[in-house]
A and B are shown apart, each in its own frame.
Chain A
Amino acid sequence: MRIAMKLLSACMLFWLVGGAYAAGMALNKVEVSVDLPALERGADTVIDTCTVCHSLKYIRFRDLAGLGFAKDKVQAWRGDSPMGSVIASKMTVDSALLAFGAVPPDLSLIAKAREGGENYVYSFLLGFYAAPDGMMTNHYFPGTKMPDALGIAGVTDAAQRALLEQKARDVTSFLVWAADPHAQERQTLGYYVIGYLLLLTTLLYFLKRRIWARLNTIQQNQHKE
């Protein structure tokens, strides 16, 4: 049955690795950030630029304040909308359809809703380029209807590209937070829970050993008889 144990762990690994997908062009990896200034820069861009077309219907301004952003910052973002209102798109579905021929998807869950997750979002935002025929397209979503929102296509200056990459990284970090706002809390709690369980299980192991040790003495006594 020891072989079975090995088999089991082998197949777990297999599934984990096998779960990785095979996409057309390899995605760029992004190190998403969880610190407040980066998230705030990301939120700035998302609310200024992306919400022209996209909504974030599961995020309320109140949630942004709850995350710890400065009050006047949230105030500036929301304008006259109440704290409890969600981040809506400035464009109606009909006008978006008319303008782009596609409805811009809600961005609240987008960092989870694509194969490749945050790496996809990051790569997509930086993937715009002008095709030889002059049409704007994207390495990771050929023929996408979305315009080059960050303005990366045609930028060749290294320093400027680095700035845009930083911007995309901040935007992605914010969207990753938006898709799973309790992730930080979850992981912190996870360390405590697992630490506690390790302690408890160690104690349970020694308890079990002590109880089963009785069995050996009983058996020895039986043999003596």
Chain B
Amino acid sequence: MLSRVIGWIDQRFPLTSFVKRELTDYPTPRNLSYWWNFGFLAGFVLVLQIATGIFLAMHYKADVNLAFDSVQHIMRDIKYGWLLRYLHSTGASAFFVVIYIHMARTLYYGSYRAPRELLWWTGQLLMLLIMASAFMGYLLPWGQMSYWGAEVITNLFGATPLIGDRVVLWLRGDFAVGDATLTRFYALHYLFPFLIVAMVVIHMVALHTVKSSNPSGINLAAKDNIPFHPYYTSKDFFGLGIYLIIFCVFVFFLPHLFIEPNNYIPANPLVTPLHIEPEWYFLPFYAILRAIPDMLGGVVAMALSVVIFAVLPFADRSSIPGGAHYRPVFRVMFYVFIVDVLVLGYVGSQAPIGFLVPLGQIATFIYFATFILLPFVSKAEDRWLRARGLPPELQALFEQRPPREKWLRK
């Protein structure tokens, strides 16, 4: 019966062949490590955020007089409302943990390099959309930190030359963050996840065109590929189990870790909290904003720090394929960069006083220096590695395709 139904569909829609080509038989390098689980996990987190979000939206009220109370109504009176809300609020942080690890993996193994530029750039757009969604979602509980966070961040757009004031007005819908801001953020917070889904589809099309990279960075011969199913389905589901265990520890036992005490106080435009601090996932960028003494300069630096990842495919000029696997200098740079981002995160979480000010500035300098130096360092490293002699598998690769000829282009 089932096969007849599928047969009927297949005559009208390429269901079986699509599933076969893109899922079950989809060729995947056999040597992927567990760091390759995070793309699938990001997809899972997205689905969970949308699912919990839709149910929260059934009870939430986007009105400055009702928003805070409606969240408490969800937390107290709706059956398992607290679970929905904690899944969603913890899920936002989990989303960033997962995509930051996913990005770090891409950096470490050089997965952004040709021919995966478009894959990388669509990933960048995804990150921007996720950041925007998270920022707008954070306003909805309408607590003190929601309100003042939105006030401060929208205020940054005032640094836009000439039309700054008008941009801020346009974003807020009013002269200060208020009902107009809340309702538009709510509308957009519902819209953006579906834009993200569309972008994920594009990301997947790009991935399935160029296929997964792998830890060695060398494009593997066909015999080293294995079908996605059952090998990577089983591996992804095991990874999902591990992820869910960690996630549920936070949801069931530490859900307040990601909710500021100040956000349990209803928004009050007349009382400014002592420390206004963005969520942890924005802290490194916030530190960069504050490292520059000038407002416009700070905003530009912050925006640049988010989008600068896009230059990596051009900035990395090594002819050795992949990332850190065959490239010790690149590996050192990677770790310096990661530590630097953690330092920035710490600086961003503290009041800007004492040694933290110069520390933030030095860390900001190192952040950008990494990108600026990469072309030169990667070239020099390339020369040094060749002079030292390449491992046989790379040697073989270059003998097949002389280095002058761009071997990456098929």
* Residues of chain A at the chain B interface (Cβ within 8 Å): 1, 3-4, 7-8, 11, 14-16, 18-19, 58, 63, 105, 108-109, 112-115, 117, 179-182, 186-187, 189-190, 193-194, 197-198, 200-201, 204-205, 207-208, 211-212, 215, 222
Contacts and interface: CB of A to CB of B under 8 A. Distances in A.
B252 A186 contact: yes
A4 B104 CA distance: 9
22 contacts: A1-B108, A14-B346, A18-B349, A105-B265, A109-B264, A112-B256, A112-B261, A113-B261, A113-B265, A115-B261, A180-B82, A181-B76, A186-B83, A186-B255, A189-B252, A194-B248, A197-B244, A200-B241, A201-B238, A201-B244, A205-B238, A215-B231
Interface residue range, chain B: 35 or more
Given A11-B342, A14-B346, A201-B242, A190 B248 contact: yes
Contact of A1 (B35, B251, B261, B264): B35
A30 B262 CA distance: 21
**Most B CB atoms within 10 A — which of A190, A197, A215?**
A197
Interface of B: 30, 33, 35, 72, 75-76, 82-83, 86, 101, 104, 108, 223, 226, 230-231, 234-235, 237-238, 241-242, 244-245, 248-249, 251-253, 255-257, 259, 261-262, 264-265, 280, 335, 338-339, 342, 345-346, 349
Contacts of B237: 204, 208
Given A113-B262, A186-B82, A186-B252, A7 B339 contact: yes
Contacts of B345: 11, 15
Contact of A7 (B226, B234, B338): B338
A177 to B, nearest CB: 12
A114 B252 contact: no
B265 A182 contact: no
Shortest 6 CB-CB distances between A and B: which pairs? A190-B252, A201-B241, A113-B264, A208-B234, A204-B238, A109-B264
Contact of B245 (A109, A194, A207): A194
Given A190-B248, A194-B248, 16 more contacts: A3-B335, A4-B338, A8-B101, A11-B345, A16-B257, A113-B262, A115-B261, A179-B264, A186-B86, A190-B252, A193-B252, A197-B241, A208-B237, A208-B238, A211-B230, A211-B234
Nearest to A189: B252
A19 B93 CA distance: 15
A204 B241 contact: yes
A15 B280 contact: yes
Contacts of A115: 261
A197 B242 CA distance: 8
Contacts of A58: 72, 76
